Chains A and B, each alone.
Chain A
Amino acid sequence: MSPFAIALRNLARQRRRTVLLSAVVAFGFAAFALAGGFIAQSFEGLKEGTIRSVGQLQIVDRRAVGRSEETTLEFGLHDAARARAIASRVPGVASVLPRIDFVGLATNGAKSVPFLGVGVDPEPEAAATYAKELVTAGRYLSGDGGDGVVLGTGLASALNVRVGDRVTLMATTPDGSLNAVDGLVVGLADVRIKELNDRYLAAGAGLVWRLLQSPETVSKLVVFLKPGADESKTARALTNALSAAGYDVAIRHWRELATFYEQVKLLYIGIFGFVGAVLVIIVILSAAIVMTMAVTERTREIGTLRAMGTRPSGVLKMFLAEGVALALLGCLAGMLFALVVRAALNASGIILPPPPGATHGMPIHVRFYPLAYAAGTIAMIGTMAIASYFPARRASRMSIVEALAHV
């Protein structure tokens, strides 16, 4: 008769207590599994969103590393079409998109509003990013973009323009002169961050080059990789290929650029870490109380076992086994509970409130994340072992005579 078998019998004997404590463990486990699934989903969503926005890798002129441009395209990558073609041929690369970052004023003739512009190659940009999905009125840029522009809804509102209206874009060229071009508003986009909505403008690279008087120069080339491609290896291959062609470039990884992603990740880890710690403490306290009651109620039994020759370690094992068995039982119940709650939440269509600065909430989605289930199981077993240890140690150290005389 192993300590574990006796522990299971005792759990069956004390049904009400077993159910109560299993429910506590199950709740703790489900909280771990659901929170883990939610966090994993959020991280994955954020990661995907970030990558769809900034790419997995970015090729920039080496001069741009760690420095800010004083004039537009001061550290631009010249002869971009050739560099793009070379980069596109590197194994693992799915697509390479040019991006030209620029600032200027947009005017409707009566009013001028500053904008943050991005020059793109419209068709591949629409295919690789969320740019097209963000359009709420009109359409996204097509072909080479022509003289079309897409404005953030806030910027369009400030300028009081609609799809089909014309705006004039003014910007300073790299040599410091002022230039202007006319653009046709083809679409309005909601980029989901209010401050950016009020300034966002996208245009085809051709129009931007005309405005900036800098043909074939880009701020960066955004690289999307094929599924399974190794980021670091591809980065090295890109550097080598472009260096061999005479480009002095640096490669930036998406994590270096995704400060928002890293901040949100740290925030989530902090919040859920704190909640997890509180949960563990609640489970420990509940379990310790219940196990202490079990030890007190079974004092005479402990005395009998010790009198018959059970070593102190045997008594310790018996109560620890009871705690671990309860943890396993609770985890099993918690697993079922978590799966049911997950299915219900995912089917509920609940929209979470938008994060600070964002304009849209997102539907709640809890992912099945096996690591969270495994971590929950380990955490609950560990928690129950800790909670059981001290009552079990007390039981193992009891005076046999006093235990036998316990009423």
Chain B
Amino acid sequence: MNETSPPVVAAQGVSRSYRLGAAVVPAVRDVSLTIGEGEFAALQGPSGSGKTTLLNLLGLLDRPDAGTIEIEGKEAGSLSENARSDLRRDRFGFIFQTFNLIPVLSAEENVAYPMLLAGAPAEQARGRARELLDAVGLEEKFSVRPDLLSGGQRQRVAIARALANRPSIVFADEPTANLDSRTAEETLDLMRGVCESSRVAFLFATHDPRVVARARRVIELHDGRIESDRRVA
């Protein structure tokens, strides 16, 4: 992290509970955490430890019951739904376990979509989408629809899409869970390469030891609390 620049994402005393019938189940409890520029960090923990909930809170997909979240130094809690949408569009990228590509759009259109959403001219968005697909090794698949791509190829399109608007952070929820070992490792190497070359931070919620092995910071969650937060050389 740069000395002068604020962290990309900072959570302070964040809690989130869910109602399950009559019971209230705490998913995240009083978590404070900062993610800086260019970090390659993994949220690790058993099922139900609150990894995905914390990722959703930090990615402004959900609102905490308590605590504050700052994005690049600005408090996000009071933002309107539209402002949060714009922030996600301009500053965040998302990668999902099930890829979540838009089925009616080609690989190129999927990648171009966030740029068009941000108001980029169509030609410019198309050009950058092709560059990104080139960079993830899908130069032959521009016009192919997601259902005709393999799992690994879909996840590469998803990575390209996540990087489309030059985000400051990419949130990846179990990005390797649906990939075979080799593809998972290739995908992780690709993301780490992007992280190193463009200083985009990556935050993973994962069970996968391969992700943990590549992470430079591992945050261990247990019962919604951070149990350990260690940096790996």
Contact = CB atoms under 8 A, between A and B. Distances in A.
Interface of A: 1, 6, 9-10, 12-13, 300-301, 303-314, 399-401, 404
A305 B105 CA distance: 12
A400 B85 CA distance: 11
B76 to A, nearest CB: 14
| 10 tightest A-B CB contacts, nearest first | A309-B89, A9-B104, A304-B100, A309-B88, A400-B61, A311-B85, A401-B62, A307-B94, A309-B85, A311-B82
B86 A309 contact: yes
Nearest to B57: A401
Dominant secondary structure at the B interface: helix
Nearest to A300: B100
Given A1-B116, A400-B62, A404-B96, A309 B103 contact: no
Contact of A312 (B59, B85, B98): B85
Interface in B109-124: 109, 112-114, 116-118
A6 B88 contact: no
A305 B61 contact: no
Nearest to A14: B104
Dominant secondary structure at the A interface: helix
B117 A310 contact: yes
Chain B CB within 10 Å, residue with most, of A301, A310, A313, A401:
A401
Contacts of A301: 100, 102-103
Contacts of B90: 309
Given A309-B118, A310-B117, A1 B112 contact: yes
Contacts of B59: 307
Interface string B51-95: 000001001011000000000000000000110011111101010
A401 B61 contact: yes
A310 B85 contact: yes
Contacts of A6: 102, 104-105
B109 A1 contact: yes
6 contacts: A6-B105, A12-B104, A308-B114, A312-B85, A400-B56, A401-B56
Given A308-B161, A310-B85, 19 more contacts: A1-B112, A1-B116, A301-B103, A303-B100, A304-B96, A304-B100, A307-B94, A308-B114, A309-B86, A309-B88, A309-B92, A310-B89, A311-B85, A312-B82, A312-B85, A314-B117, A400-B56, A404-B61, A404-B100
Contacts of A308: 88-89, 94, 113-114, 117, 161
